Amino acid sequence: MLLRGGRLGDVSEDVLSYISSRDADKRIFEADLMVDRAHLVMLREQGLIPEDDCSKILSVLREINESDLGDGEDVHEAIETQVISMVGSLGGRMHTGRSRNDEVATCIRVALRDEMLGFIEELLSLIETALSLAVEHRETLIPGFTHTQHAQPTTLAHHLLAHADTFTRDLERLTDAYTRVNLSPLGAAAFASTGFKVDRKRTCELLGFDGLIENSMDAVSTRDFALEVLSDLAILMVNLSRVAEELVLWSTSEFCYLELDNRYASTSSIMPQKKNPDTAELARAKAGSVIGSLVSALTICKALPMSYNRDLQELTPHLWRGMDWTRATVRILNGCLSTVKFNTNRLYEFAGAGFSTATELADSLVRATGMPFRTAHLIVGRLASRGSHPTLEELDETALELAGMKPSCLGFTKEMLERALDPRSNVALRMGTGGPAPAETKRMISDRIFRTGVLADMIRSKRRKVETAMEDLRQMK
């Protein structure tokens, strides 16, 4: 036991396994080696460790595998123990001027930023899938819903663009959070910094961070960056669960708007005919699990006094779980969407169902006759209560009864009536900003393609910066 020799002596297996973070630390093993390297190089440059000792330690760091490590409270202790067993007591110089408190906070940030960059790229791919489906379906009419009731006709492109825009905001939230994740706490030591002349800016640069978490007490004690990422993931999962729910609902025999590819479906152990949308159901459910991770993490941090508290160790697995579940959900839903078959005939059939053109009929009456919208709403509402598509005579009759006038005498023609009742003309008329008219969705699609391209470039340049720093650091001898 590296740490207990001086003060405490032995510990029981039971206590050790209770306080150990070794399992979760597998996620930060590689990051820890990088943090060790950066710290060592800085110590050498500052003259705080002999050149030879530094080189020896750097060279054994190359040889250590996670599976070589013995037990210990955490990966930091286990790696240090292993270094000392390989180079002798000079290995004990590695921990000069640092603590596991700044070390772990740095490791989590290094591992998390890699996760985030990979994840953001997968999210971009989901957005691209939604956009390319939108390109295909600009003219595909579908029923639009409010309250899960037929409301107005729209297009599949319009619907998919709504999801794509939602996910783009999710992505922007995560890239924004990244700017607060990629900051270095290293050099804060236990919390009060250190009397050794460590160069925090240098380790920051060596590790490819964009800046420091300056206050050393803040640096070791905050996990707000993890809370922020988990919040963003939870919001994203809520948004993803809406797509998942639509896949479930739309694949029922009642809706029959789409069919999932067999690879994303399951069957029943008893009912041989079944094709169940299990992937989408689990995507819907995982939103609950990720929200659970966020709530756990928030609750662990709540009311923690300054500065480092071991409670923080309990948070980290929730961060990785939230990340893994969200990442898997993005991947699976991307697969579902890129292989799904839309039943465009059925969608067209229902685009005008439930008198969903009623709003346009009322609007057309207003435009042609100049009657107040509320009067038109009353007339069309009455017609709707009697069944759907009225003739011009029925319209005149109802208008006369309710408003004392006949629309046909005020310039409302049969052609106007037919156009108002046609779902395709409804959509074509909705060409205002953000509407479903094919020309407008075309504009939105090209705008979104451009914007996702800009985001992809930004992510690539962040990745390049981090990878270059890590590559240079790995080469240091």
**β pairing state of 149-155 and 141-146:** antiparallel
CA distance 224 to 294: 11
**Residue 157 CB: number of other CB atoms within 10 A?**
27
Q: Cα separations (Å) of 26 from 14, 23, 76, 182? A: 20, 6, 11, 20
Smallest distance from ligand ARG to CB 214, Å: 20
Cβ proximity to ligand ARG, 53 vs 102, nearer residue: 102
Residues lying near ligand ARG in the complex (CB under 6 A): 21, 74, 100-101, 104, 308, 310, 312-313, 316
Q: Phi, psi at residue 144, to the nearest 5°? A: -100, 145
Per DSSP, the residues of 257-324 read -EE--GGG-B--SS-TT--B-HHHHHHHHHHHHHHHHHHHHHHHHTTPPSS--THHHHHHHHHHHHHH
> How far is it, in rounded angstroms, from Cα 156 to Cα 142?
6
Which C-beta is closer to ligand ARG: that of 154 or that of 216? 216
Q: How many CA atoms lie within 13 A of 27 on its CB side?
A: 23
Token representation of residue 430: 């909705």
Distance in Å, CB of 79 to ligand ARG, minimum: 12
Closest CB 188 distance from ligand ARG, rounded Å: 12
**Percent of the chain that is helix, strand, coil (3-state, to 5):** 70, 5, 25
147 is catalytic: yes
Catalytically annotated residue among 147, 253, 269, 385: 147
* Nearer of residues 26 and 62 to ligand ARG, judged by Cβ: 26
Q: Is 137 a catalytic residue?
A: no
CB of 49 to ligand ARG, least distance (A): 22
Which residue, among 116, 304, 94, has the nearest Cα to 220 in the 3D structure?
A: 304
Structure tokens at 418: 């037919």
Burial profile 284-295: b = 16 or more Cβ within 10 angstroms, e = fewer: bebbebbbbbbe
The residues near 162 (Cβ < 8 Å, ≥ 6 apart) are none
Closest approach, Cβ 77 to ligand ARG, in A, equals 8
Give the three-state DSSP class for 230.
helix
Q: CB nearer to ligand ARG: give 77 or 440.
A: 77
Shortest distance, CB of residue 308 to ligand ARG, whole angstroms? 6
Chain CA centroid to CA 472, Å:
30
> Catalytic site residues?
147, 268
